[in-house]
Amino acid sequence: MDWILDFYNYRVVAQYLPEFARGLGSTAWISLLALGISLSVGTIVAIMRMSTNPLLWRIAAGYVQAIRSTPLLIQIYLIYFTLPALPLLDRRLDELEGGIIALGLNAGAYMSEIIRAGIESISRGQVEGAMSVGMSYLQRMRYVVLPQAFARVAPPLLGQTAVLIKDSSLVSFIGVFELFGAGLVILNERLMPNEGFLTVAVCYLAIYTIMLSVTDYAQRRLGGAVS
């Protein structure tokens, strides 16, 4: 068994297990909060993008293009390093808040494209039906269009969530401790890249596999998806 210990010393990994658990939990929280932001931003941007008001849809389209054409890393840097003190908060964002907001805004652009496809797939009759019973625009969206749209695009949204979880590793660049950071700890303290990064890789792969089967399940339960 010695040759395994040379390449991958699982005893060291066992020693650092609490770090990995902490990193995993941190990644889960970061992803969950960023997911919340991205879904809210994505829905608003999707609705703006479909508006007939040129100002609204141009802003939305510009936002999506800007996010899609620049790397996430530079978005994280811009938000964390360059935003001045925020008026309501009365201080600058710390690295965790900055990272989560950047991740959420980034994923929001991709989510908005998926959500827009979902909204567009809802047949006109649904909206007309809602109008004829006297629903306002917001009511139509809230009670008729969005629930159906989200059900229809749940699989691609879940796929994008898997990407979001992977991307959350980038917030380690601004010093947030998460799953990838746990690997860095082993690299820095023990100079053991294999033990650190292979373990982290396996954790991410496990998350991805779970997300993939959830996506499959959603696809089967909710029928054909639009993408």
Closest CB 128 distance from other proteins, rounded Å: 29
Name the amino acid, one letter, at 221: R
Closest CB 134 distance from other proteins, rounded Å: 38
**Residue of 108, 106, 117 whose CA lies nearest to 154:** 117
Closest CB 164 distance from other proteins, rounded Å: 11
Contact 42, 115 (CB under 8 A): yes
Question: Which residues pair with residue 86 across a beta bridge?
Answer: 91
Q: Which residues touch 109 (CB under 8 Å, ≥6 apart)?
A: 41, 42, 45, 63, 64, 66, 67, 68
150 binds other proteins (CB under 8 A): no
* Ranges assigned E (strand) in the chain: none
168-207: contacts with other proteins (CB under 8 A): 169-170, 172-173, 180, 183, 187, 193-194, 197-198, 200-201, 204-205, 207
The residue count for binding other proteins (CB under 8 A) is 43
Closest CB 17 distance from other proteins, rounded Å: 19
The C-alpha atoms of residue 176 and residue 192 are separated, in whole angstroms, by 21
Sketch the per residue contact string, 51 through 70, with other proteins: x for CB under 8 A, - otherwise: --------------xx-xxx
Closest CB 94 distance from other proteins, rounded Å: 17
Closest CB 70 distance from other proteins, rounded Å: 5
The C-alpha atoms of residue 92 and residue 85 are separated, in whole angstroms, by 4
123 binds other proteins (CB under 8 A): no
**Residue of 96, 109, 119 whose CA lies nearest to 176:** 96
156 binds other proteins (CB under 8 A): yes
The one among 10, 81, 137, 143 contacting other proteins by CB under 8 A: 81
The phi-psi region of residue 91 (left if phi > 0; otherwise alpha if psi is between -120 and 50; otherwise beta) is beta
Q: Which residues contribute to the site for other proteins (CB under 8 A)?
A: 7, 65-66, 68-75, 77-78, 81-82, 155-156, 159-160, 166-167, 169-170, 172-173, 180, 183, 187, 193-194, 197-198, 200-201, 204-205, 207-209, 212, 215, 225, 227
